[in-house]
């Protein structure tokens, strides 16, 4: 069986394969530390699993991170898409499934899916970006909750998938790949241009800011964030070991005021702070109590 | 204890969600909106009606048409119109068909107009209608999506059919609305010859 014939222009897997190879080169250079090595394996594995519909077909499972179910090989359903359908179609019972899926994963892992599983988070790790002023960051963080709160009424009133029409993640992971695979298959609606402009804006954002999408705009992150306070997986801070070097604060991609705000709703459990801590004053473990 | 309680509660909610709603979410996942995303239409430009899957399909052989559909296609030309509630291109196609005098009513309870009395329409709300699953017979799995239009008729024990996925707007190998009328007329000619049904 020929796995790859190096004929990328005609290969339907090229859109995912090429970014994975480029990503591997960047990630291998950029990821250092015990947890980071594990994280790169996890992120690659999830990127692959996310796009395995060519093996398993479309399933009724729900992603616990942001990925478009209209992507050519998307295995599961987008949590925001499910939320939109519940309100646009008035099918309230699927909300139970959504709450259960997000709740169950988040009670165990908190927002770790953002750091260890989400392909969009992975992309942002590769683009790196810069840090912004704390004051500004603190104010804009709440925007993702506002977006999440606006999606249900927007879908209910318009009876459409209002967010999907302009979703930059959909633009990146579904519209663009489909346009590459089959440029004539698209029905251009009035939302195409805004969607592409927002997708371009998404790229500007992630190149300008570290985890700019996760921190400020991601509605799935907003769903999971409150669970950080009660999740089993916790980032622990041992004050007696801390030498107050604040390396953890400097490296944190979410710009959390580490080490004191170790239970922050913004923490994506990426473990960069754990890896860089010279005195092991930070670690991860599952707390059952 | 609080954490364990949270875990148990979410596990119960998740189990109930999977038990009752898994199939619905799967149907929604399959019913991806073609217009929104540019799914490959998996349609060959209409020349003749097909008996077997054409070369653009991943499947081969004669499609396993359900018996109710075969029975219906014995009586009349059948058109299946798969749509989704939040599907904008489905709405565009429906409105265009309505404007062209092909159909009347709404996507939920529409039918052919008197000009097409020789044909019967099944307008199927794909994720929510129990007939919605048959869409997979007429599109390859990853090509599945809404809107999808299928035209069938039976003659001398053979089911002839034609399908395309995506809006009938004349792009990507798909017919436009006028060509859709021609295909229905062609089906009538093929099924009944010169005789009026």
Residue B21 lies in a domain: no
- Assess B32–A contact: CB distance below 8 Å, yes or no: yes
Q: What is the pLDDT of residue A176?
A: 86
A91 dihedral zone (left: phi>0; alpha: psi -120 to 50; beta): beta
Rg (CA), chain A: 19
Q: Model confidence at B41, in pLDDT bands (50, 70, 90)?
A: low
Task: Tell me the C-alpha distance between A38 and A46, whole Å.
Answer: 12
Residue B120 lies in a domain: yes
Following DSSP, what letter does each residue of chain B receive, concatenated? -HHHHHHHHHHHHHHHHHHHHHHHHHHHHHT-BHHHHT-----PPPSS-BSSPPTTSS--SS----HHHHHHHHHSEEEEEEE-TT-HHHHHHHHHHHHTTSEES-TTT-EE-GGGTTEEEEEEETTTSGGGGGHHHHS-GGG--BSEEEEEEEETTEEEEEEEES-SSS-TT---HHHHHHHHHHHHHHHHTTS--
Nearest one of A127, A129, A142 to A221, comparing CA atoms: A142
What's the gap in Å between the CA of A177 and the closest CA on chain B? 9
Into how many domains does chain B fold? 1
Phi, psi angle pair for A199, to nearest 5°: -65, -40
Q: How many CB atoms lie within 10 A of CB B43?
A: 23
Q: Which of A97, A98, A167 to mutate to test the interface with B (most CBs of B within 10 A)?
A: A97
Mean pLDDT across chain B, nearest whole number? 87
What is the average per-residue pLDDT within B33-44? 60
Nearest CA in chain B to A78: B29
Closest to B35 (Cβ–Cβ): which among A181, A189, A289? A189
Q: Model confidence at B142, in pLDDT bands (50, 70, 90)?
A: low
Residue B3 lies in a domain: no
- Assess B128–A contact: CB distance below 8 Å, yes or no: yes
What burial letters (b/e) apply to A180-206, b meaning 16+ CB within 10 Å? ebbeebbbebebbeebbebbeebeebb
Residue B4 lies in a domain: no
ipTM over 0.90: no
Chain center to CA of A196:
19
CA angle at A186 for the pair A185 and A188, rounded to the nearest 5° = 155
Query: Which chain B residues touch A187 with a CB distance below 8 Å?
Result: 34-36, 38, 88-89, 92, 166-167, 169, 171
Residue B18 lies in a domain: no
Q: What is the pLDDT of residue A203?
A: 93
Residue B19 lies in a domain: no
What's the gap in Å between the CA of A282 and the closest CA on chain B? 22
- pLDDT over 90, % of chain B: 53
- Assess B11–A contact: CB distance below 8 Å, yes or no: yes
Domain that holds residue B85: 31-192
Which CATH number does the domain housing residue B107 bear?
Answer: 3.40.30.10
Mean pLDDT across chain A, nearest whole number? 88
| DSSP bridge partners of A286 | A233
Residue-level length of chain B: 197
B81-129 confidence digits (pLDDT tens): 999 887 888 988 999 999 999 999 999 889 999 999 999 999 999 888 8
């Amino acid at each position: 069986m020929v796995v790859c014939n190096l004929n990328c222009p005609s290969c339907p897997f090229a859109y995912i394969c090429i970014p994975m190879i480029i990503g591997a080169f960047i990630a291998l250079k950029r990821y250092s530390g015990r947890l980071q090595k594990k994280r790169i394996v996890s992120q690659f594995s999830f990127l692959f699993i996310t796009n395995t519909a060519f093996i398993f077909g479309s399933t009724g499972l729900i992603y616990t991170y942001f990925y478009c179910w209209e992507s050519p090989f998307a295995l599961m359903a987008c949590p925001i898409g499910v939320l939109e359908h519940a309100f646009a179609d008035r099918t309230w019972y699927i909300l139970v499934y959504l709450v259960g899926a997000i709740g169950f994963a988040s009670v165990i892992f908190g927002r770790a899916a953002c750091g260890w599983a989400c392909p969009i988070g992975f992309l942002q790790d590769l683009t790196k970006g810069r840090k912004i002023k704390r004051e500004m960051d603190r104010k804009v963080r709440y925007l993702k909750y506002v977006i999440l709160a606006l999606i249900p009424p927007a879908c209910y009133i318009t009876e459409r998938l209002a967010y999907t029409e302009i979703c930059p993640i959909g633009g990146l992971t579904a519209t663009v790949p489909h346009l590459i695979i089959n440029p004539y298959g698209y029905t251009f609606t009035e939302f195409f241009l805004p969607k592409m402009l927002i997708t371009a804006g998404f790229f500007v954002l992630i190149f300008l800011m570290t985890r700019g999408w996760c921190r400020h705009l991601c509605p799935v992150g907003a769903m999971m964030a409150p669970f950080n306070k009660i999740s089993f997986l916790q980032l622990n801070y041992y004050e007696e070991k801390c030498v107050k070097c604040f390396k953890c604060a400097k490296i944190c991609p979410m710009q959390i005021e580490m080490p004191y705000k170790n239970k922050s709703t913004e923490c994506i459990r990426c473990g960069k702070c754990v890896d860089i801590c010279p005195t092991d004053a930070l670690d991860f473990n599952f707390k059952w109590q | 204890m609080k954490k364990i309680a949270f875990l148990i509660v979410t596990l119960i909610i998740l189990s109930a969600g999977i038990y009752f709603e898994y199939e619905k979410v799967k149907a929604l996942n399959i019913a991806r909106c073609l217009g929104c995303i540019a799914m490959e239409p998996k349609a060959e430009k209409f020349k003749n009606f097909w008996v077997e899957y054409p070369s653009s399909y991943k499947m081969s052989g004669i499609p396993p048409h359900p018996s109710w559909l075969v029975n219906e296609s014995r009586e009349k030309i059948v058109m299946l119109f798969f749509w989704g509630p939040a599907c904008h291109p489905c709405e565009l196609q429906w409105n265009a068909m309505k404007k062209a005098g092909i159909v009347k009513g709404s996507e939920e309870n529409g039918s052919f107009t008197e000009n097409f009395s020789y044909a019967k329409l099944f307008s199927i709300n794909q994720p929510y209608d129990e007939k919605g699953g048959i869409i997979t017979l007429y599109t390859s799995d990853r090509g599945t999506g809404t809107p999808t239009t299928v035209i069938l008729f039976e003659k001398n024990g053979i089911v002839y059919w034609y399908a395309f996925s995506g809006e009938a707007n004349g792009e990507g190998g798909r017919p436009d609305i006028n060509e859709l009328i021609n295909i229905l007329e062609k089906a009538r000619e093929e099924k009944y010859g010169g005789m009026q049904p």
